[in-house]
Structure 1
Amino acid sequence: MSPERPRHHQRRPTYPLAHATRQKPRRIPLVLRVSKGSVHASIAVPVLLHSLFTVLIVYLDRHVGNIGLPALIIPSLSIVVGLMLVFRNSTSYDRFWSGRNCLTTIGTCVRNLTRSFLVSATPKPGEVLAEAEREDVEKTVCVLVAVLYAVKHNLRAEYNIPPASTLNGDGAGAGEGEVEQGITAAKAEYISLLPDHLVGFEDQGLSLPLQLTVLVEAYIRRAFERGWVHGPQASQLTVQVNTLVDAYGRMETIRSTPMPVAHLIHQKQVLALFNCVLPFATVDDFGWWAVPIVAIVAFTLYGIEGIGVQLEDPFGYDKNDIKMDGIIEDTRREVMVLLDAWKAKRSGSGMHGGMFE
């Protein structure tokens, strides 16, 4: 007789997805949530203003004179508002989904390059890697992981490492304090992965991800010269680097290309116009009930627009943004486990789990 399944059995995420997957159940049903992950705070002001405007219209209609409009005007305006909001949200979600796919592409390239680098650098029986060659492999794999963090911080417009312009000669004098300040501002989560004495050129317009891919490409050339990879394989590794840079470029495009301002202006004006006309079209039929009706309609329409605004730039820290921190951390764990297994194989221990045989 099979054991009884727990009444509240819930599938737990596997370890490779530990950081990118939700690990705890939602305590509050989504229909009742008004804070975390919602856009209520950002739309509270326009909803309140339209509600107060409706109160004014109802009061004037009751105590001054009839100022209502035919309700037939609403369907015509609602079609326009609906089309504009659908376009805005579909475009914003497409940016969100494209950004997520680009991040997956970058992670896949890092995985492929790591696998190829470690396998090609695994010594044959009886061979021993030189210390310089071993350090070269380890540093290059760490650079691959650092690319992920550099991409994340660049998309968030965060500074990475001290720029080369802060170094004056031996780094002493006025530049020393600036370098120290830059190191303090550097991201501790991946600064140890970067090569020693690496300086950035972000102040001159060169992004750190591209700078790090130069180091990876240089390693491919050295691996070819050492005979670790043949010509077609080196070409395929270069293709992986090119794919990584292309995916990062597409993420930059999403980050640096906002919605056309003409569309944003017209959408805001049409949305405000519709919610301002709505009280005049509902006051005769609903009286004071027009106030909650307008509030509900404004809440719905402005909420849809607010979702589009959040999805437009999906690389930040908002609840609805891509979980870049968790995804990158999962990839780092995978790569580091592979690197540790490669080190164990090279040292002759049995801790490599049968890999690199």
Structure 2
Amino acid sequence: MTTARHHTVDPTFPRYYSTRTKARRWPLVLRFVKGAIHANIATAVLLHAIFAALVCYLDMRKAGHLAIPSSVVPSLSIVVGLLLVFRNSTSYDRFWRGCNHVNTIETSVRNLTRSFLACSCKSDGPPPSTAEQADTERTVRILLAMMYATKHHLRGEWGASRMPVVEHRRASLALAKSEYDDILPSGTEDFQDQGLGLLLQLTIPIEAYIKRGHDRAWFHAPQASQLSVQLNTLVAAYGSLETIHLTPLPVAYLIHLRQVLALFCCALPFALVAEMRWWSVLLTAFLAFTLYGVEGIGAQLEDPFGYGRSEIKLDAVCEDLRVEMGVLLREWRAGGNMFPEGGVVR
């Protein structure tokens, strides 16, 4: 058994929020609450154990006439195994693709931020004005807001739950202690109550900034085109995440899988009772725990954008990106060595 690594971290450690910062107190084999699936399958396991006990009791009363040949178990287990393999492989593929698309959005935000900060001036012209500096910084903060908008959209956190709307239809996003407080311009209007996602809304000022940068001769035409491609890539990844979130596995398959699991675990006591007697209750509970646990993990990974420990760490990704953007903006404003030609007035 491998031991967990101990990390000595500083609050500015890269990927600080996404990195495990403390060793596990207990081996994973002894974990039954945090991160485990046990609570979700406890009812099913308990019911099958009770049913197995009932079969054992009735078999004793009927002098062993409830038993069926144990040879039926291997043939049924093949079918159950194939269904579970398909279920979990499909669910993990959705989880993995979700991770990749989130990373694509994060990468696009990083690339656009780098270009906006490094190129927000003319190398052979006057330094940018105070208004142009403010325009650049505001745009970079909007880029960061797009990562948060992705997180909240995938979790369905809009409207009254996360972003309370004022009585008029185009509500301001001035929210008390909101994640958007210091990254969105004051007076930004929210169109989510009309069906427009916040991320798509925020792509408009980003595209407009690219056009202004081209007009100011900050970006030459091929570079401006490439920046637009980066923005298009970000929106495409956002759409792919929406597809994963809004397209669950077919309900007919899920119904059939649950029914097959239930029938298999109900047939087990009849096949085991002749040889194992009351021990068949324990074995049935163990097998039900195994099979329903595997299915439960697949259900958890199917839409991996929530708060569970087995889901994508969207909160950590957003906070790490906020730290990175904060350092870049601070160095850009200070005209440090990171930006030798700078984007600030000296």
Deviations 1:235-293 (A, max 9, x none): 00000000000001111111111110010010000000000000000000100110000
Q: For 1:282, which of 272, 276, 281 is the aligned residue?
A: 272
> Secondary structure of 1:316's partner?
coil
Assess, with a 3 A threshold, how the Cα gap between structure 1 residues 78 and 187 changes in structure 2: closer, same or farther: farther
Q: Tell me: CA distance 1:49–1:142, structure 2 relative to 1, closer, same or farther (3 Å).
A: same
> Which of these residues, 231, 243, 248, is aligned with residue 241 of structure 1?
231
Q: Look up the equivalent residue of 2:22 and give its one-letter code.
A: K
Q: How does 1:35-50 map to 2 (within 5 A)?
A: 35-50=33-48
Alignment match, 2:88: 89
Coordinate RMSD, CA, aligned:
2.0
Q: How far apart in 2 are the matches of 1:183 and 1:224? A: 31
Deviation of 1:76 after TM superposition, in Å, equals 1.1
In the alignment, which residue of structure 1 is the partner of 2:286? 296
Q: Which amino acid aligns with 2:228?
A: T
**Paired residue type of 2:54:** L
CA, structure 1 residues 187+315, in 2 after alignment: closer, same or farther (shift >3 Å)?
farther
- 2:189 is aligned to 199
Q: Tell me the alpha carbon deviations over residues 153-192 of structure 1, each in whole angstroms, 9 at most, x when there is no partner.
A: 0100001656698258xxxxxxxxxx58x744x7712232
Please tell me whether the aligned partners of residues 191 and 198 of structure 2 are also in contact (alpha carbons under 8 angstroms): yes
Aligned residues of 1:163 and 1:199 also touching (Cα < 8 A): no
CA contact (8 A) 1:163 1:202 kept: no
AA in 1 matched with 2:231: V
CA-to-aligned-CA distance 1:117-172 (integer Å, 9 cap, x gap): 0111146487232121111101000000000001100100001656698258xxxx
Question: 2:24 aligned to 26, 39, 52, which one?
Answer: 26
Q: The residue matched to 1:222 in structure 2 has which SS?
A: helix
Work out which of the residue numbers 161, 166, 169 in structure 1 matches 2:168.
166
Task: Provide the aligned length of Structure 1 versus Structure 2.
Answer: 332
Contact 1:138 1:339 in 2 (8 A): yes
Deviation at 1:64, TM superposition (A): 2.2
Contact 1:275-1:298 at 8 Å conserved across structures: yes
CA distance in 2, matches of 1:294, 1:206: 50
1:225 and 2:215 equivalent?
A: yes
Segments ≥4 residues shifted beyond 2 Å? 8-14, 122-128, 160-165, 353-357
Residue aligned with 2:126, SS: coil
User: What residue in structure 1 maps to residue 201 of structure 2?
Assistant: 211
Q: 1:46 to 1:215 in 2, by over 3 A?
A: same
Structure 1 distance, partners of 2:28, 2:340, is 47
The two structures have a TM-score, normalised by structure 2, of 0.91
1:58 aligned residue (52, 56, 73): 56
Aligned to 2:344: none
2:303 to 308, 313, 321: 313
Q: Secondary structure at the match of 1:83?
A: helix
- Any idea what SS the aligned residue of 1:191 has? coil
- Alpha-carbon deviation of 1:304? 0.2
Partner of 1:74: 73
Cα offset, 1:331, TM superposition: 1.2
Q: Percent identity?
A: 53
**Cα gap change, 1:23 to 1:128, in 2 (>3 Å):** same
| Counterpart residue type for residue 93 of structure 1 | Y
**Matching residue of 2:340:** 356
Q: Is the 8 A contact 2:5 2:23 kept in 1?
A: no
- Kept in 1, the 8 Å contact 2:118–2:339? The answer is no
Aligned to 1:136: 135
1:155, 1:255 within 8 Å by CA — same for their partners in 2?
Answer: yes
**C-alpha contact (below 8 Å) 2:169/2:193 kept by paired residues:** no
Q: How far is the alpha carbon of 1:46 from its aligned partner?
A: 0.5
The structure-2 alpha-carbon separation of the partners of 1:155 and 1:283, relative to structure 1 and needing over 3 Å to count, comes to same
- Partners of 2:276 and 2:291 in 1: CA distance: 20
Q: Give the drift of 1:339.
A: 1.2
Contact 2:174 2:186 in 1 (8 A): no
Unmatched segments (≥5 aa) in structure 2: 342-346
Aligned-partner residue type, residue 226 of structure 1: R
Provide the rounded CA distance (Å) in 2 between the counterparts of 1:158 and 1:353: 40
Q: CA deviation at 1:353?
A: 3.6
Indicate conservation of the 8 Å contact 1:164/1:200, yes or no.
no
**What is the CA-CA distance between 1:63 and the residue it aligns to?**
1.3
Structure-2 separation of matches of 1:263 and 1:9: 41
Partner deviation per Cα, 1:78-121 (whole Å, 9 max, x = no partner):
00100001111111111111111111100100000000001111
8 A Cα contact 1:113 1:237, kept in partner? yes
- What SS class does the counterpart of residue 16 from structure 1 fall into? coil
What amino acid does structure 1 have at the position aligned with 2:282? Answer: P
Query: Higher helix fraction: Structure 1 or Structure 2?
Result: 1
String of CA shifts for 1:191-244, please: whole Å, max 9, x gaps.
321122111111111100000011100100000000000000000000000000
For residues 143 and 232 of structure 2, the distance between their equivalents in structure 1, rounded to whole angstroms, comes to 13
CA distance in 1, matches of 2:304, 2:181: 24
Counterpart code for 1:258 = P
